[in-house]
Structure 1
């Protein structure tokens, strides 16, 4: 149903507030995932919505634009031109280093990387972030409680700390926060005001949990409305995500559903799942997209590519149930230059097999489909072509 508040047990609430400090308890996201797979889940029937602005995340996202990366200038050309003339050589060098080390060499995304890491601490201002850069022990400790920590990722953070410090000091010196409060925050607050009227009509936590087969760490979902985040929707620690002021309500909702499902399984510790998923590396059609898509979109490893496409297929199923979907055939032809071929194939199989009608966990369904031959290597292109032949 579209308006889930028509069902009493599926009502939802929305809370508007200023920035709230992140409280990280000893009960980690990893613990929540493992516990949910040890017992039958009790689905949440209440989505506690919180919508907030965030200077911290907007500032970190703005770094994409300051690097002069053409991928972001098509969204923020005028803003770049406004600040470019104020960039001094040491700052330009630091920004160039960030792009080279994070995007060019590690094939990651500057904004996604830093927003995730700084979501592990409750910083709000540039001064707060500079203090964290000076002493990152709390960030390290908190991040290790989440499914997103890797030793390699932490080494990358350590290697760019000084460059990030230089970039943030520049933003402080030019009083970027004052600029943000004067020109950006009013736009964000207007979007929050408009969203406030509609968002309580939707409950999504129960749908997400039912389709994944495990509980989320919390029924509270926090959406940070940003200005400088395009074209990315970004998952951070906890049941929180970053969306954009320019996107309509349907996209904000799709973002929420999508980001809450990352990760849809525990690949790092699931030996059986990893073994089965790695069989897909033998599929030439799929691997061509994994290896040759535009790296600016992210998903530049086999593991992250497959995870993203699994989440996209799951999200599409839920979106259709809530009547907020984009048309599936057009979606995967247009989004990210058509790279998500596994999402289209998996979605087609999920529809054919009537996924989730019997409460099967997504992880188990995926293993079963690959092992049965339905999604075996060599089948992806056949399913993909049939999907579009039927939709033409």
Structure 2
């Protein structure tokens, strides 16, 4: 199985939402970027962020939001604004996976995309976030991938994982982001997010860990239990 290390601005900006929640657990890990951009938000966006945390009952937004957009095959090439409004494409993509959201959940999530996430990203980009990401974060990610790819090419994931679960496919896509720390995030298919600050061994562990995340095959669970 070939491991492809990739870059996605769309995934990374959604990962940044965790820190923008103002939760110390995330702010402490991304303080420079938080201090550069959070104070520039309008009072309206700051209030919407507070309400988003309340709605989500957690400052951890990235896993759900990145999972949803990863259901669209061209998610890294689309405008983030178009992507967050692509409800039919996202629903169709999720339907082909083991993940499940009901219509009420989709209604709630896309309402948050429309009234909070899209205006928030618009303000971020108006305040120079895309330029910041391209000049500060992107070169770090590119350098990490240059070092990481030869290391990962030594390992066959089917051999490492196949002993424990059915795991096959021609390729796995690993998106190296700069705002995922302290998490790894499983996306749709053989795809996941890791973070640029992790060393090579941690990223390999991250990869092998994430493929065991839910959803599970419930018939298998019943058999094992």
Instruction: Indicate if the aligned counterparts of 2:41 and 2:124 stay in contact, CA closer than 8 A.
Output: no
Instruction: Indicate if the aligned counterparts of 1:243 and 1:252 stay in contact, CA closer than 8 A.
Output: yes
Which residue of the partner structure matches residue 14 of structure 2? 60
- For 1:241 and 1:49, locate their aligned partners in 2 and report how far apart those are by CA, in whole Å: 11
Corresponding pairs, count: 222
**Stretches of 4+ aligned residues off by more than 6 angstroms:** none
- For 1:215 and 1:76, locate their aligned partners in 2 and report how far apart those are by CA, in whole Å: 34
- For 1:205 and 1:264, locate their aligned partners in 2 and report how far apart those are by CA, in whole Å: 19
- For 1:272 and 1:183, locate their aligned partners in 2 and report how far apart those are by CA, in whole Å: 45
- For 1:238 and 1:70, locate their aligned partners in 2 and report how far apart those are by CA, in whole Å: 32
- For 1:112 and 1:135, locate their aligned partners in 2 and report how far apart those are by CA, in whole Å: 18
> Are residue 266 (structure 1) and residue 220 (structure 2) matched?
no
> Are residue 120 (structure 1) and residue 94 (structure 2) matched?
no
Which residue of the partner structure matches residue 174 of structure 1? 127
Q: Using a 3 Å threshold, how does the CA distance of structure 1 residues 119 and 229 change in structure 2: closer, same or farther?
A: same
- For 2:24 and 2:63, locate their aligned partners in 1 and report how far apart those are by CA, in whole Å: 17
Instruction: Indicate if the aligned counterparts of 1:65 and 1:76 stay in contact, CA closer than 8 A.
Output: yes
Q: Secondary structure at the match of 1:85?
A: helix
Which residue of the partner structure matches residue 70 of structure 1? 24
Q: Using a 3 Å threshold, how does the CA distance of structure 1 residues 178 and 108 change in structure 2: closer, same or farther?
A: closer
Which residue of the partner structure matches residue 294 of structure 1? none
Instruction: Indicate if the aligned counterparts of 2:177 and 2:193 stay in contact, CA closer than 8 A.
Output: yes
Which residue of the partner structure matches residue 109 of structure 1? 60
- For 1:155 and 1:77, locate their aligned partners in 2 and report how far apart those are by CA, in whole Å: 33
Moved more, 130-139 or 194-203: 130-139
Instruction: Indicate if the aligned counterparts of 2:176 and 2:193 stay in contact, CA closer than 8 A.
Output: yes
**Cα RMSD between the aligned structures?**
2.1
Q: Scaled by the length of structure 1, what TM-score is found? A: 0.53
Instruction: Indicate if the aligned counterparts of 2:18 and 2:59 stay in contact, CA closer than 8 A.
Output: no
Q: Secondary structure at the match of 2:147?
A: helix
Deviation per CA, 1:205-261: give whole Å up to 9, x if none. 23322211x244x23111111111111100000101100111111111111111122
Residue 142 (structure 2) aligned to one of 186, 189, 199:
189
Superposition deviation, residue 142 in structure 1: 0.8
Q: Scaled by the length of structure 2, what TM-score is found? A: 0.90
* Higher RCO, 1 vs 2 (CA within 8 Å, ≥6 residues apart): 2
> Are residue 240 (structure 1) and residue 194 (structure 2) matched?
no
Superposition deviation, residue 172 in structure 1: 2.5
Q: Using a 3 Å threshold, how does the CA distance of structure 1 residues 264 and 88 change in structure 2: closer, same or farther?
A: closer
